[in-house]
Structure 1
């Protein structure tokens, strides 16, 4: 599975099929070409479309079909997802919008820890912080421990569900 998903074009095919279980090879190749060229489908050149179509038709769809992930109907030129969608999502790690927002919240925690920690250390150097009786090295140690705890919390909050699912 990891070898199959080692190619970004095959991952993109499967992601599209998770949203649209049956799609023509022509439409699928146009969507992937648009993504790869960072352009709307309407602005694709025939060469861009043809390159992706040929690659999907000759290499990627047959490879995915051999491993039972998709089925290709050559008469209708229809690609159909045959793999278990939930299992496939785990491999592709498709994030929901809710999870993406969660990650942005953590960047604020890291930012404010750095800002407050730096302000306390700067205040200590200048002798203006109420922590002047604490050594700078101790403050660095506390800030390091705070970042370590924040990092562990981040990993468990964001990656914890995936780590727990690993045994499934």
Structure 2
């Protein structure tokens, strides 16, 4: 099951079929192409539609059909969900957590470290910062250490659980 769901198009097929138990291959390919191209279905080019349609018809729908998850009626060109919907839903829910907000949080840390560090160094050059008695090289060193610590923290927060699993 994990091998089957390792492909985003197959996951997307099953998601659509969980919402709508039966759909034409043409409509399904248009919806997936729209999702992949981040555009409304009406704005898709015929090339974008054809690429996804061919991929679904030749590869993904037959693969899901071989494993009993979908059925394809070639006369009607209908794709239907035939697998256990609850089981499929459970597998589809086991995805990596959305780290969108998490990444933005870290980018802010890096940005503010760069802004504050640059302001302190510029103030030192101009002789207006309270750190005028500290050398520029020392400020560069402190800023480098801060960036290194921030980078290590970022890597451990994002990749730490995976790195710990590799150690076991």
TM-score under structure 1 normalisation? Answer: 0.68
- How far apart, in 2, do the equivalents of 1:72 and 1:33 lie? 19
Aligned-residue offset at 1:111: 1.1
CA RMSD of aligned residues (A): 3.5
Q: How many pairs are equivalent? A: 155
Structure-1 separation of matches of 2:11 and 2:65: 11
Structure 1 position 136, deviation (Å): 1.2
1:102-121 map, 5 Å: 102-121=102-121
CA contact (8 A) 1:31 1:41 kept: yes
Q: Sort the Cα spacing of 1:84 and 1:113 in 2 relative to 1 into closer, same or farther, 3 A.
A: same
Which 5+ residue runs of structure 1 have no aligned equivalent?
none
Please identify runs of 4+ aligned residues in structure 1 that moved more than 4 A: 45-48, 63-66, 79-83, 161-168
Instruction: Give a deviation string over 1:142-163, Cα, whole Å, max 9, x none.
Output: 1011111112222233344455
Q: Aligned in 2, Cα 1:117/1:51: closer, same or farther, shift over 3 Å?
A: closer
Partner of 2:8: 11
Whether the aligned pair in 1 keeps the contact of 2:121 and 2:139 (CA below 8 Å) is yes
Deviations 1:108-134 (A, max 9, x none): 211111111011111112222222222
